[in-house]
Amino acid sequence: MLEIIYQDQDLIAINKPHGLLVHRSSIAGDAKEFALQMLRDQIGRRVSPVHRLDRKTGGILLFAFEKEVEIAMHKQFQEGEVLKKYLAVLRGYAPDQMDIDYPLTKDDGVVQDAFTSFITLKRAELQVPFGKHATSRYSLAEATPTTGRMHQLRKHFAHIFYPIIGDRKHGCNKQNRFFKETWDMTTMLLHASELVFKHPVSGEKIQLKAELQDEFKRVMTLMGWDQKDHTIPTTQPE
C-alpha cells in the first residue's frame, strides 16, 4: 500500500518508493507495478500525476483528481512557481554551497537551460578502503532545482564530479558496485523531500514533506548522520 502524505478534495500526494515507475513506459518493459494504477486502485478514484519523478527517485509525488486542477498545477511547475527540495548522497566532499548553471541536451538534440542550487548538510569519511584510497568520503546535499529537466539533478551532480550514489546511468559505476558489494545496496540515493506551492483552487500555501525511506535511512546510519535532522513529518496546509 502506498503511503499517502497529503489529501484534500483536489489533490493527493504519496511518498513514492524508490524503484516504482509513475506510469507505464515503453523503456521499462520489466515493470509490473505503477504508482498511478496502484493509487487509483487504493483510493478507488481517477488521479493524474502533475509532475515527473524518476523511477529510481523516492519521495513526494503529487496527483490531481480533476483535469482543471491537473492543468493548473502543470502550469505552476512549468513556470517555476513550485519550490522543490531533494536530498542526495554524493561521492566525495561536496562544496558548502554551489549554484549549477549548466544547459542539458534532450535526446532530440534540443538544448535547454537548467539551474540547480545546493547546500551540503553533512559529510562523512568512512574507514572503508575504496580503490587506492584508505577511506571513503561522502556528502549529504539538499538540492533545489529551479528548472525541471529530465534527470536534471543526476546530470548536474555528475557534471561537477560529485555523482549521486546508486545512479547507474549518470553516476560512478565503481561506487555503485562498491555499495552493492559492501552493503548489498542498489538504491539510488535521491529523495524528493519537500514541495511548496499555491493551492490551485483555494489559493493557500501548501507545504508537503516526505520522510526518508528505509534504504536511505540505512545509509544515514552507516554514515553516522543524525536522522532526526532529515526524518520529516507530514506537513498540513499552512
**Domain residue ranges of the chain, discontinuous segments joined by +:** 4-229
Rounded Cα distance between 14 and 102, Å, is: 30
Per-residue confidence (pLDDT) for residue 28, from 0 to 100: 54
Query: Is 54 part of the annotated catalytic residue set?
Result: yes
Which architecture, in CATH terms, is 4-229? 2-Layer Sandwich (3.30)
pLDDT of residue 26: 55
Q: What is the pLDDT of residue 231?
A: 44
Q: Is 0.75 topped by the overall pTM?
A: yes
Torsion sign over Cα 115, 48, 59, 189: negative
Q: Using alpha carbons only, what angle is made at residue 36 by residues 155 and 25, rounded to the nearest 5 degrees?
A: 55
Which tens digit of pLDDT belongs to each residue from 194-230? 999 999 999 999 999 999 999 999 999 999 997 665 5
What's the confidence (pLDDT) of residue 109? Answer: 86
Among 10, 30, 54, 96, the active-site one is 54
- What does the pLDDT look like over 51-95, one tens digit per residue? 989 999 999 999 999 999 999 999 999 999 999 999 999 999 999
Long-range (24+ apart) CB contacts under 8 A made by 63-67 are 63/11, 63/12, 63/13, 63/14, 63/36, 63/39, 64/10, 64/11, 65/9, 65/10, 65/11, 65/12, 66/10
